[in-house]
Amino acid sequence: MSKIWKIFEYGYLIIAIVFIVETVLNWNLDREKAYLFLLFAVLAIFMYFFRKRFRTRLEKRNKQ
Is 2 inside any structural domain? Answer: no
pLDDT of residue 3: 84
Give the Cα separation of 61 and 44 in Å (integer).
26
In a domain? residue 4: no
In total, the chain counts a number of residues equal to 64
Within-domain flag for 3? no
Asked, for residue 1, whether it belongs to a domain, the answer is: no
Q: For the purposes of burial, counting CB atoms within 10 Å of the CB of 11, is it exposed (0-12), middle (13-18) or buried (19 or more)?
A: middle
Please count the structural domains in the chain.
1
**Could you report the per-residue pLDDT of 41-63, keeping only the tens digit for each?**
999 999 999 999 999 998 899 88
Question: For the chain, where are the alpha helices, taking DSSP H only?
Answer: 2-26, 31-63
Q: Identify the pLDDT of residue 22.
A: 97
18 backbone dihedrals φ, ψ, rounded to 5°:
-60, -45
The domain of 38 spans 13-59
What confidence tens digit (pLDDT) does each residue in 4-48 have?
A: 888 989 999 999 999 999 999 999 999 999 999 999 999 999 999
pTM, two decimal places = 0.86
* Rg of the Cα atoms in the chain: 15
Do the domain assignments include residue 47? yes
Is the residue at 64 inside a domain? no
